[in-house]
Amino acid sequence: MAYDEDLAQRIRELLAAERGVTEKKMFGGLAFLVGGNMAVAASGQGGLMVRVDPDQGEKLVAAGAAQPMVMRGREMTGWLRVGSDAVRTRAQLAKWVQTGAGYARSLPAKGSPG
């Protein structure tokens, strides 16, 4: 399944004012990186992949809209999957994009994309 291009455009619009944003196709989706760190992605499996503070992951899952991200049978600490139904409105999507961008921004910047 290809990622949702409309969702990717909505993410792009929300990140338009953010400095240091790049896009990269990865994991079958389109990832948005802030300072070289992945923040959020339009997932090839639908919905979003969101990078979060590992200490906040369980709390965000408990709130109900997100699930732990699982790759190759392993739960990925610091990553959440948010279904399409939970990002239908601009406000819903903005919450997750801001969460991912904020955490990515808190990490040491990686080298210039090239």
Question: Please, are residues 97 and 47 in contact by the beta-carbon 8 Å criterion?
Answer: no
pLDDT tens digits for range 5-43: 999 999 999 999 999 999 999 878 999 999 999 999 999
Query: Is residue 113 assigned to a domain?
Result: no
Domain span at residue 100 reads 5-106
CA distance 108 to 16: 21
Query: Is residue 17 assigned to a domain?
Result: yes
Question: Please, are residues 65 and 20 in contact by the beta-carbon 8 Å criterion?
Answer: no
Query: Is residue 112 assigned to a domain?
Result: no
The pLDDT-based confidence of 53 (bands split at 50, 70, 90) is very high
Q: What is the pTM of this model?
A: 0.91
Query: Is residue 111 assigned to a domain?
Result: no
Q: What is the CATH number of the domain that holds 23?
A: 3.90.1150.30
Query: Is residue 114 assigned to a domain?
Result: no
CA distance 16 to 27: 23
CA distance 6 to 52: 23
- Adjacent-strand bridge partners of 67: 81
Q: Number of folded domains in the chain?
A: 1
